[in-house]
Structure 1
């Protein structure tokens, strides 16, 4: 594929991810939201802000591009750095604890074990997976 076309697709996907996240952020945790509620928020909100979900997806993209592939240590350090720069993005209590452990020297592939015994059962990995598919397509 033409590199310019690929770059536009990559940027478009990440922009769509961020926009959907920012539009959905006011409704997080709700089961049903009407179209009129979404339109009302979109019309009255002057500035949309994406959440930790997009923030971490961007971290995945940054790391994959910088390392030209997956480097777990680098990706973990990217997550930590991005969190420290913008901790107000709506992170739950778990990720900052994992980031703190990484900063204190825990291995990136073991840092979450004490925070999430038995593994995380959330959907966070899915919310930051788009850059992986884009990078390896």
Structure 2
């Protein structure tokens, strides 16, 4: 029996579409920056981007599935989400899926139960960052409710492909952070907003390496001395010099190089928190760290879009992203 859609379903889907837009532009831009000449060009001038259209990757493909299931059911229906993932994979398997994802989605598409497959393809379960890269539409859809609801729905979304606790934790932390940003979108530069982002994420993220990393990210944001490279000044505005070496942050938090939630989510939450008021700067700083650039940019872009709105996403970037068919 289908659950009735919420009375404010249309408003929720508008928010989810905004998050999907921010995620997909980040994803598409990020994947162009694996080529060194594009990487160097955008760091020198954010307007100097690769010629479009920029194709998006599996990050956006899977986020569209989350978006579609929310539009149909107003919640995460795990069986339906697994079917959506498998169908979109079958239609376009060249989108950049990892080897494990290929095996998992092929088996689900062939009728094997998703829970057994998720536990079998990745012994002990996956803790890959795919659970977090696709979560922004869900964060937006449930943003006006309790954080506990956001966390519960994020868990349901993650479990379809990620049976490992760290994979689930990464989805929860990213979703709660995104919901927090939407709630505080009127004050993106205030220290209180950044504090709530970390406090809410920590309050709902299960104990483990992802949570430990978010603790370190919070420390980088608030507890460094004024002699450090990262600091807060003035009326709580985050100041990160554009030419700042990102290396100390990467050493402490990771940059997605291991394709895990543990070394992706803490870094992405830190970048988003420091640049909630400026989508362009947030993505350039994300690109600067290298690592899993497209996924990092998808996560950061999905979060920051909820603070700046579609008008805050550079028009030329949006125009060059491959058209979304949703």
TM-score by length of 2: 0.37
**Cα displacement (A) at 1:121:** 2.1
Aligned partners of 1:23, 1:15: CA distance in 2, in Å? 12
Secondary structure at the aligned position of 1:69 is classed as coil
**Cα displacement (A) at 1:5:** 5.5
**Cα displacement (A) at 1:79:** 0.5
1:110 to 106, 112, 116: 116
Conserved? CA contact 1:57–1:130, under 8 Å: yes
Aligned partners of 1:112, 1:120: CA distance in 2, in Å? 7
**Residues 80-136 of structure 1: CA deviation (Å, up to 9, x unaligned):** 111112212111111121112213332122212221101112211110111221222
Q: Which moved more, 1:87-96 or 1:6-15?
A: 6-15
Conserved? CA contact 1:23–1:38, under 8 Å: no
1:35-54 mapped onto 2 (5 Å cutoff)? 35-36=43-44, 39-40=47-48, 42=49, 44-54=50-60
Q: 1:105 to 1:6 in 2, by over 3 A?
A: closer
1:70 to 55, 65, 76: 76
Aligned partners of 1:93, 1:48: CA distance in 2, in Å? 23
The root-mean-square deviation of aligned C-alpha atoms, in Å, is 2.5
Aligned partners of 1:89, 1:38: CA distance in 2, in Å? 25
Conserved? CA contact 1:72–1:109, under 8 Å: no
1:75-86 mapped onto 2 (5 Å cutoff)? 75-86=81-92
Identify unmatched segments of 5+ residues in structure 1: none
Aligned partners of 1:106, 1:24: CA distance in 2, in Å? 33
**Cα displacement (A) at 1:9:** 3.0
Secondary structure at the aligned position of 1:118 is classed as coil
The answer for the alignment partner of 2:104 in structure 1 is: 98
Q: Which moved more, 1:122-131 or 1:107-116?
A: 107-116
* 2:21 pairs with 1:18: no
Identify unmatched segments of 5+ residues in structure 2: 1-7, 144-326
**Cα displacement (A) at 1:60:** 0.8
